[in-house]
Amino acid sequence: MGRYRRKRPRPRDLTQRYEAGELDGDPHLDRDALDAPRGKPRKVGTTSEDPRLDRHARSREGLLEGTVLSIGPGSCRVRSGDKEYACVLRGILTAKDSRRQTVLAVGDKVYFSLIGDGEGAIEQVGARRTILTRRGTGPRSRLQHIIAANVDRVVVVVSTREPSFRPRLIDRYLVAAEYGELEAAVCINKIDLDPQGSYEEALEMYRSLGYPAVATSATEAMGLDGFCELLRDKTSVLAGQSGVGKSSLLTAVDPQLTLKISRISSRTSKGQHATKNASLLSLSFGGYVIDTPGIRQFSLWDVPAVDLAGSYPEIAEFGMDCRFQPCSHVKEIDCAVKAALEAGEIFPTRYESYVSLYQELLEREKK
Ligand SMILES: Nc1nc2c(ncn2[C@@H]2O[C@H](COP(=O)(O)OP(=O)(O)OP(=O)(O)O)[C@@H](O)[C@H]2O)c(=O)[nH]1
Ligand SMILES: [Mg+2]
Ligand SMILES: [Zn+2]
């Protein structure tokens, strides 16, 4: 079962492109440059002939450059060099954007002016290298929520129990990561609560799909070296349900971090997040990580149903041989994905998760 082994290399190294300045731009001149639309980072002004580049260099004169560490009501914390500033947003940046829940995201590169001791006003937001997004919840369900900007990797954290293991949720995060062209990894925490090791099959499955996967116990200090290696020297974001142990894992691998941890092991009811806001943290062993508050439901932002298969590496690969292009791999005849499923080359749980997500996205498109 599941003989698929991921061969596909990552399409390109975004970090290198970013460092080469290829992806930089000025959102004031091109608001769309703020996001990597539909997951594809766009090149903005890459040649010196581009008149926007000069204007943008001039307009940043006298401003400090920093990174958004966390966002509170009305202001945010920004790190610049080794100092932190409390910053407000200039009016132009707070102007209502009909599609976004917030103008600013944790991890954003910003340019700000000093307005007091340790206080600044954000004048510009740099183009985003990558974004991890979801749909807003409740009344904000038509808005895009940016979970993190400019990260290299998403580490999806789940627990064996308390709260129970949710493979469908993992797949949603993996799709959001693939769609945003981010690396993704999986961490199965609280293995101390599953001495039979029933999580091992899932661990192997994610590995065979090409996702680094580790099994840990934050409280019993198991598997923590592997978890460290997922984070070392990268900028990562931890994502997953409330109570799975994201903050516990971070304090276990880096005792310098003082994060609020839930006193109760299982978090099942609404509104009991131990972590209230996403925050960007510096790791003593190298790298940065964004700890996020857990969410109950993860709804994908703006992935067209027809593009979903592209975010399941094994389905994308077998799908190249389907008779119809594009093929939904749900109802068509001569579907190479269904043939691979029959032959035991695709994990049934992954195919089922694909079909259910495909139908959900299709339903949404009809509305
Ligand atoms: N048994 C066991 N409990 C754990 C483990 N890791 C964390 N916990 C407990 O699980 C609870 C939730 O941990 P947190 O670190 O606050 O979880 P979180 O994912 O950060 O939750 P939010 O901040 O609400 O999103 C706490 O009571 C931890 O002590 C583990 O490996 N094993
Ligand atoms: Mg937390
Ligand atoms: Zn097909």
108-152 pLDDT, tens digit each: 999 999 999 999 999 999 999 999 999 888 777 778 889 999 999
Minimum-distance ligand to the CA of 189? Answer: 1
pLDDT value, residue 59: 63
| Cα distance between residue 244 and residue 298, in whole Å | 15
pLDDT value, residue 367: 82
Check pLDDT > 90 for residue 53.
no
Minimum-distance ligand to the CA of 219? Answer: 1
pLDDT value, residue 339: 97
Ligand 2: distance of its center to the CA of 313 in Å? 30
pLDDT value, residue 38: 40
Ligand 3: distance of its center to the CA of 311 in Å? 14
What would the two tokens of residue 261 be? 């941890």
| Cα distance between residue 219 and residue 262, in whole Å | 13
Ligand 1 pocket residue status of 193, Cβ below 6 Å: yes
Q: Domains for the chain: give ranges and CATH numbers.
A: 14-130 (2.40.50.140), 132-291 (3.40.50.300), 305-366 (1.10.40.50)
Task: Tell me the average pLDDT across 58-83.
Answer: 90
Q: Which atom of ligand 1 is nearest to the CA of 241?
A: 25
Check pLDDT > 90 for residue 171.
yes
| Cα distance between residue 225 and residue 193, in whole Å | 19
CA distances for 302 relative to 99, 290, 336, angstroms: 11, 23, 26
Count of C-beta atoms within a 10 Å radius of residue 42: 15
CA distances for 263 relative to 244, 247, 267, angstroms: 12, 12, 10
Ranges of beta strands (E only) in the chain are 64-71, 76-80, 83-89, 109-116, 119-125, 131-135, 144-149, 153-159, 183-189, 213-215, 235-239, 279-282, 288-291
Ligand 1: distance of its center to the CA of 190 in Å? 8
Q: Whose CA is nearest to atom 9 of ligand 1?
A: 265
| Cα distance between residue 281 and residue 328, in whole Å | 41
Q: Pairing mode, if any, of strands 76-80 and 83-89?
A: antiparallel
Residues 66 and 75: beta-carbon distance below 8 Å: no
Ligand 1 pocket residue status of 277, Cβ below 6 Å: no
Minimum-distance ligand to the CA of 272? Answer: 1
pLDDT value, residue 142: 78
pLDDT digits (tens, 9 = 90+) for 174-211: 999 999 889 999 999 999 999 999 999 999 999 999 99
Residues 161 and 194: beta-carbon distance below 8 Å: yes
Minimum-distance ligand to the CA of 251? Answer: 1
Q: Pairing mode, if any, of strands 131-135 and 213-215?
A: unpaired
pLDDT value, residue 187: 98
| Cα distance between residue 353 and residue 337, in whole Å | 14
Ligand 2: distance of its center to the CA of 131 in Å? 21
Lowest model confidence (mean pLDDT) among 50-59, 85-94, 225-234, 333-342: 50-59
Residues 253 and 175: beta-carbon distance below 8 Å: no
Task: Tell me the average pLDDT across 256-277.
Answer: 75
pLDDT value, residue 268: 57
pLDDT value, residue 94: 59
What would the two tokens of residue 180 be? 């945003």
Ligand 1 pocket residue status of 293, Cβ below 6 Å: yes
Task: Tell me the average pLDDT across 36-43.
Answer: 37
Ligand 1 pocket residue status of 299, Cβ below 6 Å: no
Mean pLDDT value across the chain: 84
pLDDT value, residue 27: 37
Ligand 1 pocket residue status of 192, Cβ below 6 Å: yes
Lowest model confidence (mean pLDDT) among 28-32, 321-325, 334-338: 28-32
What would the two tokens of residue 321 be? 């041989």
Check pLDDT > 60 for residue 31.
no
Q: What are phi and psi of 77, to 5 degrees?
A: -95, 135
Ranges of beta strands (E only) in 216-332 are 235-239, 279-282, 288-291
Lowest model confidence (mean pLDDT) among 25-39, 78-92, 239-253: 25-39
pTM of the model: 0.85
| Cα distance between residue 240 and residue 223, in whole Å | 18
Ligand 1 pocket residue status of 163, Cβ below 6 Å: no
